[in-house]
Amino acid sequence: MTFVVVGGGPTGVELAGAIAELANQTLKQDFRNIDTSTAKVLLIEGLDRVLPPFAPELSAQAKTSLERLGVTVLTQRMVTQIDDTSVTIRNGEEIELIPTRTALWAAGVKASPLGAVLAERTAVPLDRSGRVMVKPDFSIEGYPDIFVVGDLACYLPAGAERPLPGVAPVAMQQGNYVARLIRDRLKGQTTPAFRYSDKGSMAVIGQNAAVVDLNFIKFAGPLAWFVWIFAHIYYLIEFDNKLVVMVQWAWNYFTRNRGARIITGLEGNPVQSRAAVAAIAQDSTQV
């Protein structure tokens, strides 16, 4: 009943908030012998605040919202070891052992293995996360017809201190640019240099709780949550998808239904239990 989320960025904040909401609201009446509201959710961040890329005031509001949901926020702690029964963290010279069987990693990801394949066959350099170092047009050194965009690309804009982050707006703009570049090449035309348009950042914490930084304005709370909702719906492909998601989210909002399901009656042989779960999953995909 102890959940440890490692990483206080947007992913970790959203994950910790979702677990706390499930435990304290959605699943509260679903068990006969378990009180899910006694679950402990710990969010661990190595820096001095959650959501480090955001403004300090938004980080403070995010921390308050998390604590209101029942999340324990531990900053300036570094995770040094994770095993089957515990997470070990370090705070300065102090070492603390947190008993848990559920640790969720949200402190960064390793790039796709395709990056290593490209490095092996083209000698293109990779960063420490395994992302491919790309040129300003997103091609790789020595291979002008191989383009890498999105999470697999490590692109450092001129004059910037760090590469562009692996988020959806970056990937979409890079994809649009490379598509335009290829089209222009086929027509014998040149393409202007890529320029990333930063439209701001958002992070959701829980229902009616989010933070939004639109560069020209920063705000948090229910209004930020609704902005986050509509921004995600806006970028969905096709009108019917947008309509379906909007109706489903509205229904979940007013009914407080998070779509959680519990599979029971699978006692006995673990292999048979896993087979039964797989069969249920297969049936649901066919439906």
Q: Is 14 part of the annotated catalytic residue set?
A: yes
Phi-psi region of 7 (alpha: psi -120 to 50; beta: other; left: phi over 0): left
What token pair was written down for 24? Answer: 């304290």
Q: Compute the radius of gyration of the chain from its Cα atoms.
A: 22
Tell me the C-alpha to C-alpha distance, in Å, between residue 278 and each of 102, 267, 268, 282, 286: 22, 15, 16, 6, 12
Indicate the pairing of strand 132-133 with strand 153-154. parallel
99-to-1, 40, 87, 89, 102 alpha-carbon distances in Å: 10, 11, 7, 11, 9
**Which has the closest alpha carbon to 71: 95, 39, 100, 46?**
39
Which positions ≥6 away from 169 have C-beta within 8 Å?
198, 199
Catalytic residue among 14, 57, 93, 96: 14
Strand, coil or helix: 108? coil
Which of 39, 150, 180, 155 is CA-nearest to residue 102? Answer: 39
Catalytic residues: 14
